Chains A and B, each alone.
Chain A
Amino acid sequence: MTGFFKRLPEAVVRVGIVFLLFITTVSFARWMIPASLKNGREHRTATVKRETAKAIHYAGADACTECHKEINAVKTEGYHRNLSCETCHGAAKNHAEDPDVKAVTDKVREACTRCHMYDPSRPTGFPQINPVVHNPRKQCVECHKPHSPKPPHVPQECQACHGQIARTKEVSPHVDLPCTTCHTVDVQHKVSPREVRAQIPSDRSFCAKCHSIDSPVKETQKVDIKTHGEKYLCWQCHYPHEPELHSYGTKTLP
């Protein structure tokens, strides 16, 4: 064999080496380097393919309702109608594929207070409670059904219609005042609410009954009603159902 190479002219060997090098380079470029690295379009297609092939963990609400029709029927009637099942039950693709793998939520207060604990940054009117004072030793599910949560007592009187105001008032310093403290309501208001309106106070002297410095009512924030706020009505600056947060305490403002 070696004899054969020795007998070859040197030029042929050189050409042979160059040829071999060429073949190796070409084949490396052609077959060893993945196509996705050579060509922009190819690498994008490959990435899109890889992204689309990723595993799904959240099955989606439609997958749940396929089997759980009854629960869904209950849910669509209640306040949680717009919630996806997996919001509370967690990712359930495994459960959708194999019903033996259970998708359950711990029936603990934290599961509910995650959304329903009072937080000042939450939008006004979103139902919130203070877990420290709201039946601290009970589980939420003892009174509220999570699939169709309702207050355990049907809202009555004013809050049946004015739920948002009632909930806002619940976290304000005015929580203990019944609506009728400030509003005079004709019985006809319940029958034709738009024709017969509830009355609101007409002037500053009404708020002054509790908030003026010479008011006998204790534990309210006091101001000098003659100089405070000039010509404006109190509720032009202070929303009475949720007076400003800095109004806690009883110190006198200028």
Chain B
Amino acid sequence: MERRRFLKKSLTLLAEAGVLGGIATAAKTARAEPKGYDPSKHRYGMGIQIDKCIGCGKCVEACKEENNVPRDVAHFRTWVERYVIEQDGGVVVERVDPGSSGSHEPIPNENTVRTFFVPKLCNQCDNPPCVQVCPVGATFKTEDGVILVDADRCIGCRYCIQACPYGARYLNPLTDTADKCTFCYHRITKGLLPACVEVCPTQARIFGDIDSPASPLARFRRMNKLHVLKPSLNTEPKVQYADLDGEVR
């Protein structure tokens, strides 16, 4: 009698535990991704039209606001550079500081041939050097092609910051971990545009699915002659430029 009762009790317990565990796992998988979002159906990219950029720095500001990037000038996920090409072949590049826009005036002198703005950000390389060098595997490429950093795993060794040929990473002084552009991953997975694309007043930045035949990016890629930065490094960037000057590095 004793033994029978014991067996019965332990069996019910086991069954209950199984059901509870099942519910817990189901809840876990359900919470993993936003409803109706399938990362395997996307491959994100950005197009940047140099001839449209007016260097207002709204993108830089919006990025800092959206992603809680430190507001000082030394930390940024995206930035805008002013290129000044000179008669003697010299190239002067300076980062436009969004706070001081309206007063920046290195007005071209007689030595200036041409001058323009170039917005830059993480190129979300298909062959990312930063991922290769991370000693703890904290940075990785998601299924939809975005390079993310796991702040919990990052040990702040700055290898990736060094390895990025585009200078797109920085060490976040608040968390002491590497940080970078995520294409506003929390926005794009909900169908919104990245903050910089949202606020760009001249549509110099185009965002969309590279493989989709109907995204604005598809039109951008069809209508323009495209370049990427530092193609010789074989990083296969997913940020492409139209009207890119040969002097831009």
Contacts and interface: CB of A to CB of B under 8 A. Distances in A.
B185 A51 contact: yes
Contacts of B53: 123
A56 B150 contact: no
Interface residues of A, number: 42
Contacts of B84: 121
Given A49-B32, A52-B186, A58 B195 contact: yes
B33 A113 contact: no
B32 A56 contact: no
Contacts of A119: 54-55, 104-105
Interface string A237-254: 000000001100000000
Q: Is the interface of B mostly helix, strand, loop or mixed?
A: loop
Interface string A57-82: 11011000000000000000000001
Contacts, number: 132
Contacts of B66: 56-58, 91
Given A47-B148, A121-B117, A110 B198 contact: no
Question: What's the interface size class on B, roughly?
Answer: 35 or more
Nearest to A62: B192
Nearest to B62: A58
B11 to A, nearest CB: 24
A184 interface: no
A49 B150 contact: no
A115 to B, nearest CB: 5
Interface stretch (A6-14, A35-43, A137-145, A227-235): A35-43
A179 to B, nearest CB: 25
A214 B186 CA distance: 68
Interface stretch (B107-115, B121-129, B233-241): B107-115
Contact of A115 (B31, B56, B82, B148): B56
B52 interface: yes
B193 interface: yes
A158 to B, nearest CB: 24
Contact of B198 (A45, A61, A121): A61
Nearest to A59: B192
B199 interface: yes
Nearest to B82: A121
Given A87-B58, A119-B55, A52 B198 contact: no
B86 to A, nearest CB: 11
B142 interface: yes
B16 to A, nearest CB: 20
B201 interface: yes
CB-CB nearest 3 A-B residue pairs: A246-B110, A54-B186, A47-B150
Given A50-B151, A114-B56, A121-B117, 18 more contacts: A37-B152, A44-B140, A46-B150, A47-B140, A48-B39, A49-B31, A49-B33, A52-B190, A56-B66, A57-B65, A58-B187, A110-B102, A114-B57, A117-B102, A119-B105, A120-B107, A121-B55, A246-B109
25 contacts: A36-B150, A43-B150, A48-B39, A48-B142, A48-B148, A49-B31, A50-B151, A53-B186, A55-B186, A56-B186, A56-B190, A56-B192, A58-B187, A58-B195, A60-B193, A84-B198, A86-B198, A110-B102, A113-B102, A115-B56, A117-B102, A121-B84, A121-B115, A121-B116, A246-B110
